[in-house]
Amino acid sequence: DDWNRIDYIYDAYTTSHYNYTEFQRPPAEFSDVYSDYGEDTDGDGLYNYLTIEVGVNVTTAGYYQINGELYDSYDDYIGWGSNYTYLDAGDQTVQLDFDGIAIRQNEVNGTYNLKYLNLYDDCWHQLDYIYDAYTTSYYNYTEFEEPRPDAYEPDDNYSLANYISVDGTKQTHNVHIPGDHDWLKFNATSDESYTIETSDLGDQSDTYLYLYATDGTTEIDHDDDGGTGLASKIVWDCSISGTYYVMIRHCSSSAFGPETKYNISVTVNEAPTITFVPPTPANNSEVTVDYVFVKVTLNENGNTAILNWNGVNETMFGAEMNFYLNKTGLSNGNYTFKVYASDTSNNWNVSETRTVRVTLPDDTVTRDLPDSASAGATVTVNLTVDVESGATFYAIDETVPTGWTVTSATSGGDYTAEAGHVKWVVTSGAADTVYSYTVLVPADASGTYTFDGIYMFEGMTAEATILGDVNVTVAVPVLTTIIVDPAVLSIDVGGTQIFTTTTLDQYGDAISTTVTWDSSNTAVGTIDANTGVFTAVAAGTTTVIATSGSVNGTAAVAVSEANMTVSATPETINVSEATDITINVTDASTGAAIDDASVTLEFGRSVIASGTTVGGEYTAAGVNVTETGTINVSVTASGYNAGSATVTVGEETLIDHYDADNSGDISKDEAITAIMDYFDDKISKDDAIEVIMAYFG
């Protein structure tokens, strides 16, 4: 029982005689039937595979594994083929595909030998074996697919590395020859996290991934199968900005070909964005309760959120994209807070910092002052009384700057005005109110002046200083701004416009002053220096300027030629019939007649009449044109864009002939004239009927 040998016989026994055929046959065995052919799977005219069909005689249906090796005529190894498949009982054929690229790279023509042919069942029990199984037909190695490098080759060392973006864009690579290494590089930023991973692996792809430092030689990390399936994945936090290198190889040094393709990508692991959402108080806001509810939303699912409240960290409640925490039991004062949060990949970020002031209900008096005032002016001061505690009485003593005089005050409660003071005393029924008083600024005042005051409510143990504004800046009003109205003007030649100004001091208050008007381009428009009346002279642009001392304001003016309206009467005349044509020219905007306008009538290239308008009208007498067409009327006038009209010259119709008054209708007398012409044999019966029908129509 200790496995110590006790006895041994070298040639112990010879059995009876048996025929091997008396023993149980295996469930499957090779049938010594073979065939071969080249297979072009991508249609480029080259064989992707040399396929050898192996005959198998199956007595028991099931899953079987067949594999073998391919050698050239010099007995050099080319490649390995395998097929795991289900076979029904009977004579079956199993394909072994040998890679065409491997045959091409071997560079040997001739027949190829299938050797070391094995048959296994689904439990990997060897059922049959043939050492030298089959010799193929003759092939030229150039009939097979040649290696195809990916688009990024050559990239076999870090000095040949191609850049890859860090936005997750995928590059497609493959192992085109045994031992191929693909190098990439990317720019990384300190304090950022990156995911480097392979994906979309081909059927024969199994990647191994390396990350190298900026020198291209110092390894930072490596991974085999950290991704999905046989894909690789590295998650890395960058501490120093720079260009880093990635190398990808196949796990097998002999693997290559199109089915070893893979995608590689580099992605910045973005930290979550943290956004405060209601009811979180806004930054620098004031709350009047003893709690602050802080709530944040992330732009992705989060892992942890921590509220930093006045420098102390507390874990927030919530999950996924929403986290919250309610800070209670707060007293008066200022509080600062921010939120740290991480996503599910443990990328951390921090929110903006906010400050909130907690002001619990209290009895207060708050002063409201203007920021500035002019010397000699009267300033209005408001004191807002806020009774929150239920106090029934209070007293206020307001102190104005030395030399300033209180001129009036509202009479709420017991009001008293003293030199440099305003006082109110309420002995019962205290309620929220606003007191106002006015104070006269000395005429010689200049600089910043301070108001002071105290108040005390029922229940207070000490006087309190009036809250709110305390300072007013006083200066002599100085003209600072001139605003011209209108600021932009478009006007026709001959038009007028009155410009006005608004003048302001350094505080934005109106100040009285006199301005002088001017135009930068008097050829376009002039303006009365005193009244501000602008007159448009010619087309163009000019700037209207209002000046007082060293201060000025401007307005932009664009002057345009006016448009005219041109009409011709009549609009149609007959060929070879002398006709007076009247041209009317008026202002398109006002309808006023335009005098001294130049009028030209042209037929074809010939001027048939021309003249100038009087009272907006020009008549071309006895215009007689001997062919049909169009008379073009063109008109020009000073200060106006050119105008035009047309008169049509046509053949006289029968109806036109008898329409003596050119009314467009046949009157009774005109119809009778046609009848008389018929009886005088001047027109035919049909013509007479046409005129009569026009009368009745």
**3-state DSSP call for residue 446?**
coil
Looking at the structure, do residues 167 and 216 belong to the same domain, yes or no? yes
- Looking at the chain, the whole-number percentage of residues with pLDDT higher than 90 is 70
Contact 38/50 with Cβ under 8 angstroms?
yes
Domain of 458, CATH number, reads 2.60.40.740
3-state secondary structure 545-587: EEEECCEEEEEEEEEECECEEEEEECCEEECCCCEEEEEEEEE
pLDDT value, residue 142: 94
Residues 74 and 169 in one domain: no
Confidence band (pLDDT; 50, 70, 90) for 208?
very high
- Report the 10 Å Cβ neighbour count for 586: 19
Sign of the Cα pseudo-torsion (100, 104, 105, 111, in order): positive
Q: Chain-wide mean pLDDT for the chain?
A: 92
Based on its alpha-carbon atoms, the radius of gyration of the chain, rounded to whole angstroms, reads 53
Residue 416: predicted pLDDT? 66
Choose the final residue of a domain: 253, 269, 285: 269
- Report the domain count for the chain: 7
Q: Residues 388, 466: one domain?
A: yes
pLDDT, tens digit (0-9, with 9 covering 90-100), for 56-73: 999 999 999 999 999 999
CA separation for the pair 99, 256 (Å, rounded) = 9
Residue 1 located in a structural domain: no
N-to-C CA span, the chain: 140
DSSP string, 171-228: EEE---STT-EEEEEEEE-TT-EEEEEEES--TT--EEEEEE-TTSSSEEEEESS-SS
Alpha-carbon distances, residue 205 vs 196, 199, 250, 570 (angstroms): 17, 10, 7, 92
Residue where a domain terminates, one of 327, 358, 389? 358
DSSP 53-75: EEEEEESS-EEEEEEEEEE-TT-
Contact assessment for residue 189 and residue 270, using Cβ atoms and an 8 Å cutoff: no
Structure tokens at 675: 């009848």
What type of residue sits at position 462? A
230 in a structural domain: yes
How far lies 599's CA from each of 377, 530, 563, 596, 644, in Å?
67, 41, 15, 9, 9
- CATH code, 31: 2.70.50.60
The pLDDT confidence band at residue 507, using thresholds 50, 70 and 90, is confident
Domain identity same for 29 and 135: yes
Residues 673 and 648 in one domain: no
| Helix H or strand E segment including 688 | helix 685-696
Q: Which two tokens stand for residue 531?
A: 């009244």
Q: Which of 55-69, 278-292, 502-516, 660-674 has maximum average pLDDT? A: 55-69
Q: How far apart are CA 650 and CA 625, in angstroms?
A: 10
Q: Is the pLDDT of residue 217 over 70?
A: yes
Q: Which of 506, 540, 560 is the last residue of a domain?
A: 560
661 band by pLDDT with thresholds 50, 70 and 90: confident
The reply to whether 471 falls in a domain is yes
* Judgement on whether residues 454 and 373 belong to the same structural domain of the protein: yes
- Is residue 588 within 8 A of residue 562, CB to CB? The reply is yes
CATH number of residue 626's parent domain: 2.60.40.1930
Phi-psi region of 73 (alpha: psi -120 to 50; beta: other; left: phi over 0): alpha
Instruction: Give me the pLDDT at residue 75, please.
Output: 95
Residue 5 lies in a domain: no
310-340 pLDDT, tens digit per residue, is 999 999 999 999 999 999 988 889 999 999 9
CB atoms within 10 A of CB 632: 15
Domain that holds residue 354: 274-358
Considering the domain boundaries, does residue 10 fall inside one?
A: no
Sequential DSSP letters for 266-322: EEEEPPPPEEE-TTSPPTTEEE-SS-EEEEEEEEEEEEEEEEEETTEEEEPEEEEEE
Is the per-residue pLDDT at 37 higher than 90?
Answer: yes
How far apart, in whole angstroms, are the C-alpha atoms of residue 245 and residue 263? 16
What pLDDT score does 283 carry?
Answer: 97
**Helices 685-696 and 668-679 meet at what angle, rounded to 10?**
170
* Residues pairing with 568 in the sheet: 583
- pLDDT-derived band at 148, boundaries 50, 70, 90: confident
CATH of residue 516: 2.60.40.1080
What is residue 411's predicted lDDT score, i.e. its pLDDT? 66
Q: Per-residue pLDDT tens for 335-357?
A: 999 999 998 878 888 999 999 99
* Closest by Cα among 56, 51, 141 to 98: 51
pTM for the predicted model, two decimal places: 0.36
Using DSSP, state whether 22 is helix, strand or coil: helix
Whether residue 577 is found in the same domain as residue 618: yes
Indicate whether 648 and 660 sit together in one domain.
no
CA angle 684, 685, 691 (to 5 degrees): 95
Same domain for 608 and 499, yes or no, is no
Assess whether 584 and 665 both reside in one domain. Answer: no
Helix (H, G, I), strand (E, B) or coil at 449: strand
Residue 663 confidence (pLDDT): 75
Same domain assignment for residues 437 and 546:
no
How many residues can be counted in the chain? 697
Q: Percent of the chain scored above 70 by pLDDT?
A: 99
Considering the domain architecture, whether residues 247 and 294 belong to the same structural domain is answered as: no
In a domain, 248, yes or no: yes
Least confident of 59-68, 449-458, 648-657: 648-657
Q: Does 603 or 146 have the greater pLDDT score? A: 603
Q: Which residue has the higher pLDDT, 546 or 672?
A: 546
What is residue 653's DSSP assignment?
P
Residue 559 has pLDDT above 60, yes or no: yes
Asked whether residue 4 is domain-assigned, the answer is no
Please check whether residue 279 lies inside any domain of the structure: yes
Asked if pLDDT for residue 656 goes beyond 90, the answer is no
Per DSSP, the residues of 125-183 read: -EEEEEEEEEE---B-GGGBPPP---TT-S-SSGGGPEE--SBS--EEE---STT-EEE
Dihedral pair phi/psi, residue 171, rounded to 5° = -105, 140
Mean pLDDT of 206-212: 97
Least confident among 124-138, 196-210, 254-268, 612-626: 254-268
Mean pLDDT of 210-229: 95
CA 412 to the chain's CA centroid: 59
Query: HSE of 490 in the Cβ direction (CA atoms, 13 Å)?
Result: 3
